Amino acid sequence: MRISFYSSILFAACFVALTGCTFKPVDNSSTRAPIADYCPYVAAPQSFTGGITVSGAATYQYRNDGNGAIVDNGNTFKPNITSASDTFSMTVNGTTANFSCSAGTTPCTLLNVVNGLVSALNTQLCAAANPTHPSVCSTKPPFYAHGVTAIDIYPTNGVDGSGSQSVTGSSNMTAQGPRPIRFAEVQITSSNGTLVQCTETDGSGNYSAQIPGDGGLYVVNVMARSRNNKNTAYVMNNPNDNVPYKLSANVQSVTSTSVNLKASAKGSMEGGAFNILDQILNAQDYLRTSTANCGTSGQSTFLQGCNPVTVVPLVYTYWTPGLTPNVYYGDDSPISFYLIGKRELYIGGGADGDTTNSDMDQWDNSVIVHEYGHFVEDQFGSPNSPGGSHSGQYVIDPRLAWGEGWANFFQAAVSGVPVYRDTYGSVTCGSASCATGAAFIEPLENGTPFNGYKTDVPTTTGEGNFREFSISRVLWSIIQPSVSQFSEVWTALNGVSGMRVVNDNFKTVTRLHNIHQNFASQTNKKDWSTPLTNEKQIYQFTDYATPLDLTCATSSITMSVRRDSYDDGSFSLSNQFRNNDFYIYDHPGGVLPVSLTWSGSGSVDLDLYIYKADYVFGSSRSILAYDMRDANGSSNGSATATTGSASVAPNLPAGIYMINVMAATGSMTSGSSQTTTYSLSVANHAACPAP
């Protein structure tokens, strides 16, 4: 028995600050300004008699690891690890830590160096800050202690890269400066705003264009948008104004001249817009590179039915400093999300005008590419996730788990680092009381991860299909050690028989595994069985969207019910693997009688629901029929019993429906388990899970 239904999808409860999200779109097209066309002179530049050349470079400042120091003019360094044995040291504000690695017990990998240096440094900083309570240092995470962040081994304790900080090692050291603004639109206008010329930056951020040599004043504008064979993305201020971010500089057209432009990571923060644009470019580069030649016979990556990525559809991205896009839905909690079917990406810029302490995602590359991963699945995989709340802690709707697990994995695949991370605040906020750190760090390696922990771990075979980070770990394992293995995942998602085209109203990672399992025996096909076994995932539809056999003589189905410690009896925290059975039924139309009876040694309360195909679990808008009387026939949900029954008989049009047998746990003791056996009847026939 459940006391109440969800009245609607709870967008505000979507924990995007932690793991990202997808939303169902709201149509506000009537209030939107039109989006300006991409510059027509890119394809056909204008020519001017006696014209001069304007050239230069466009770059943007960025922040290390989300909330770290601004990177500009070589203030931070990244080691190129080239040997099997090395010794590194890191100094931050006078405190030095050392780390040694070798080809032996501690391989000299970037992740090991990062973890070793930061762990050693954090220990010293923590001990210095807590001399009378050194034991608290053991509880500090390996990242984000006392303003020090590192994944790419960048020390970031300091203001705008200043302060006493250095990294030394026997490997080569490469200075890191601002990043180039790559393949972006460049517009040149007259002083009155008339468009005169266009071009695009190249892969190094350089541009060159001709303008009239009339001595007039012109404006060079580098736009935060691209629409070419390298990148297809616009980054704009909000969905009502649709104004793209840009950098501008004046030039007097007397002689050929050089004009360099740089986007700042502070103040007006245009650097954030260009970082978003660049991360989308990285994602598109990865898609093209990792699927190249996968459809060409004779190639090492060839798989029958694989569709290589060439050009990705255009995505519209919205970001405003100090604003959470959740305000468009009436809430002010920090959030980033993607609108399914709208090709619109929303990146959080903070909240309530706060760009120092709040959760901002313009530098959180994990979050940016995660949300873009939702776009990729939307365009290439035809998803049907209901969206909604998730945090990587619970056994959730497997459609949602698949969508989020894919996006978590995709950002790791693009970066090459098996970590999902979301930060908040900024080390440059200018106050010792700044709230900075990691809102979320999750390793995505299978087995023992580099920082010694992982969450969302399944305990029973089949449960991994319902856990988002378990799905992420499986996908990451599949593409190791060769990135070319991504083409197998891509073929199962977007191939000629992939999830994109399969007739399935309830797509989950089970469908992906099932498609791969049914690939013809091909030379390049990889065995996924070990990753699936490690994460307790299966390719059979025995736990969700299970077909029904209506020819069986009798129905007898066992359910092992457990009330988890976090389970408060609500729909939102119901264990969808253990305490729910989900059956699909293709109804010819008319009255659909469904009933169940149960009996067992344990006292339980089973409820019965029929959902429409695009349902949201527990939503009154999705439930077409239900019987949630408790075991004694009461509607107050106060009792469990060893026997009971439930039945419904709605009149429904022809279509695919989900029949849900659900164990109500509200009357059970937390941590307790019970076992019961139920019989299910559908359309007046005994119903059994199809073999």
CA dihedral 555, 560, 562, 568 (to 10 degrees): -20
Type of residue at 572: S
**Two structure tokens written together for 445:** 């390696």
CA separation for the pair 213, 51 (Å, rounded): 4
What is the DSSP code (8-state) at residue 590?
Answer: E
Type of residue at 97: A
Let me know the angle formed at the C-alpha of 94 by 90 and 99, rounded to the nearest 5 degrees.
25
- Single pTM value for the model: 0.84
End-to-end CA distance of the chain: 30
Type of residue at 678: Y
> Which residues are paired to 689 by β-bridges?
548
**Two structure tokens written together for 357:** 């302490």
pLDDT in tens, 294-303: 988 888 778 8
Q: Which of 423-432, 479-488, 582-591, 656-665 has the lowest mean pLDDT?
A: 423-432
DSSP string, 354-369: BSSSS-B-SS-HHHHH
Do residues 244 and 218 touch, judged by C-beta distance below 8 A? no
DSSP string, 195-243: EEEEEE--TTSEEEEEE--SS-EEEEEEESEEESSS-EEEEES-TTT-P
CA distances from 434 to 84, 129, 254 (A): 39, 16, 49
pLDDT in tens, 150-168: 323 333 332 223 333 334 4
Do residues 531 and 446 touch, judged by C-beta distance below 8 A? yes
For tokens 């994995």, name the residue.
409
Let me know the angle formed at the C-alpha of 592 by 586 and 595, rounded to the nearest 5 degrees.
105
CA separation for the pair 86, 173 (Å, rounded): 13
CA 525 to chain centre: 27
Own/partner pairs, 108-114, CB within 8 angstroms, 24+ separation: 108/81, 108/83, 108/84, 109/81, 110/81, 110/152, 110/153, 111/417, 111/450, 112/450, 113/79, 113/81, 113/86, 113/88, 113/153, 114/150, 114/151, 114/152, 114/153
Residues 6 or more apart whose CB falls under 8 angstroms from that of 132 comprise: none
CA separation for the pair 473, 453 (Å, rounded): 13
**What percent of the chain clears pLDDT 90, i.e. is strictly above it?**
59
CA separation for the pair 679, 689 (Å, rounded): 11
What is the DSSP code (8-state) at residue 102?
Answer: -
CA separation for the pair 588, 507 (Å, rounded): 22
Do residues 81 and 109 touch, judged by C-beta distance below 8 A? yes
Mean pLDDT across the stretch 627-642? 73
Strands 217-223 and 185-190: antiparallel
pLDDT interval class at 358 (50, 70, 90): confident
For tokens 């990244």, name the residue.
78
* 138, pLDDT greater than 60: no
Do residues 433 and 456 touch, judged by C-beta distance below 8 A? no
Radius of gyration of the chain (CA): 28
pLDDT in tens, 556-602: 999 999 999 889 888 989 999 999 999 999 999 999 999 999 998 88
Nearest residue to 155 via CA among 199, 107, 91: 91
* 437, pLDDT greater than 80: no
**Beta carbons within 10 angstroms of residue 140's beta carbon:** 16
- Of how many residues is the chain composed? 691
Mean pLDDT across the stretch 243-268? 94
Average pLDDT, the chain: 82
pLDDT in tens, 58-70: 999 988 777 766 6
CA distances from 585 to 541, 592, 615, 687, 689 (A): 14, 10, 14, 10, 11
Q: Which of 20-24, 285-289, 331-335 has the lowest mean pLDDT?
A: 20-24
Nearest residue to 60 via CA among 279, 232, 236: 279
**Two structure tokens written together for 280:** 């989308």
Bigger pLDDT: 495 or 117?
Answer: 495
CA separation for the pair 6, 622 (Å, rounded): 10
CA separation for the pair 239, 322 (Å, rounded): 16
Q: Which of 144-148, 451-455, 509-513 has the lowest mean pLDDT?
A: 144-148
